[in-house]
Structure 1
């Protein structure tokens, strides 16, 4: 059974469209984009995932399954399978391009499409700045009331960095550049 069918059934069984949106699963649908678009449109309009009977009325050929695993499992499976399928297709197309257009054309095609694929299939998480405001206020209060004038990290000696970022912080990756043999 196709991973898209399993994921769509899991979404319909769980009714959890919001998790799918936050996980950006719309990108994994290659063959069933129309059904995903219908579910998405239905949710946007009615704030509810459509019932399987509603899907059946609009898409009579769709295969219905009972899902037994949590929705997150089907999302992970769909993401892996989709990326595998799209990678295979990209390699085949690159091979064809290599035959017809030469190595430079094929390599440019591969690199640009591989980057696009990674961007589309990688799940980016948003940070809820509004919901975490109290943590930020507490941190800013601590910085402003500290004895070392708002520098919580290691002073950099560069006034702009110290003023804006509080010096170098734990986890910062710092690279310093300068002329060879001059003042470092």
Structure 2
């Protein structure tokens, strides 16, 4: 009985369907050793002679190869069978490599081999997509018209901050968005506000937390939605009125989409395990707070430049594969900040790897406002889709109220300050 590889090659020759198969994502590496060389020869023949070889030409080059009758076979189904056979072969190789490690008691190394290999298998079988810009002009006009009618002019997910929304037009599917800043500058709370906003608008956020427990994150969530003191909530010092407000808000939200926190104090999350979580929970947006603490599946030391490069590249591919935005936070190298006073973040100050800039669609910094203790400046440092700009956010932790301060607000503050001085 002819194999799927034999039938596929026969089908390509008889139907002259090489381009269709290439468009379906088939590559020489998807064939077993017996047929990989044949497929490579077929591609070389096509590129050299600008035509698909005949069966006679194939028999002349490979006289011992026999092909089956594929006249009743589906081309796309045969491609699926060949790719699936490749996947099975690769998984079998991974298991063969991992089993000795597992038997020797090195479970962590075995998991690393499997996780890294499975990620590679998933990536190398992903299909590309061709779009004819001339043919599809009408659908683009319809999309632009629909965007124009939106009152908020957003094309993505709201950040919860109007100024950031105006700059970014929202966070879009397949984007990798990075927030950078010094420790304790509000990056974690900023992403929590974004996640709550997404959930309020009907999406299901998935948030990976390395430095805070699920209970701590839950307390931030509860305090923010009820606008009660976070510290008071944690210390059992909430007033009766605050408890009542919290009860009301949580009851109002009980029928919303899920909001999932992944607690990982041991920092063992990898890109593959994150992919599994995405597949399990099907979120509308993903947050990784403290991405520099993720494990690299190739075994590079945690936090090293190569490990971070591997992680950011893989996260970008993950966002594209699952068509979901991924928002990450990382720290800056304080010694490289532009000034001891302003503490302004530049691209050079982003910690340990240039891959954050290279792989991210948007990079935003979170900086201390040098003039006000209770304010932070969020700047768009680099973006493929939006202009540079900045917004100022005022942090009121007692009432969990984090709002933008506009120019008018600054003027009012200056007038009040002048009045008190006078």
1:33-72 CA distance string (max 9 Å, x none)? 1111111122223332211111111111212211021211
Hey, what's the Cα distance between the residues in 2 that align with 1:176 and 1:109? Answer: 26
- Give the count of matched residue pairs: 182
The higher radius of gyration belongs to: 2
Alpha-carbon contact 2:21-2:79 (below 8 Å) kept: yes
Of 51, 72, 82, which aligns to 2:76?
72
Output aligned runs, 1:16-165, within 5 Å. Answer: 16-26=17-27, 27-31=29-33, 32-67=35-70, 68-99=72-103, 102-121=106-125, 123-128=126-131, 130=133, 131-144=135-148, 146=149, 148=151, 150-151=153-154, 157-162=161-166, 164-165=168-169
Q: Between 20-29 and 95-104, report the one with greater CA deviation.
A: 95-104
Structure 1 segments (4+ residues) deviating >6 Å: 152-155, 166-169, 176-179
Hey, what's the Cα distance between the residues in 2 that align with 1:176 and 1:114? Answer: 22
Change (3 A) 1:20 1:153: closer
Alpha-carbon contact 1:9-1:64 (below 8 Å) kept: yes
Q: Which 5+ residue runs of structure 2 have no aligned equivalent? A: 174-200, 208-216, 224-399, 403-422
Q: 1:10: Cα distance to partner?
A: 1.8
Q: 1:153: Cα distance to partner?
A: 8.1
Hey, what's the Cα distance between the residues in 1 that align with 2:78 and 2:123? Answer: 20
Higher strand content, 1 or 2 = 2
Quote the residue 1:8 is aligned against.
Answer: 9
Q: Which 5+ residue runs of structure 1 have no aligned equivalent? A: none
Hey, what's the Cα distance between the residues in 2 that align with 1:79 and 1:38? Answer: 19
Q: 1:166: Cα distance to partner?
A: 6.7
Secondary structure of residue in 2 paired with 1:119: helix
Quote the residue 2:325 is aligned against.
Answer: none
Alpha-carbon contact 2:147-2:153 (below 8 Å) kept: yes
Higher helix content, 1 or 2 = 1
TM-score normalised by structure 2 residue count: 0.37
Hey, what's the Cα distance between the residues in 2 that align with 1:44 and 1:30? Answer: 22
1:77-107 CA distance string (max 9 Å, x none)? 2122222222222212211343458222222
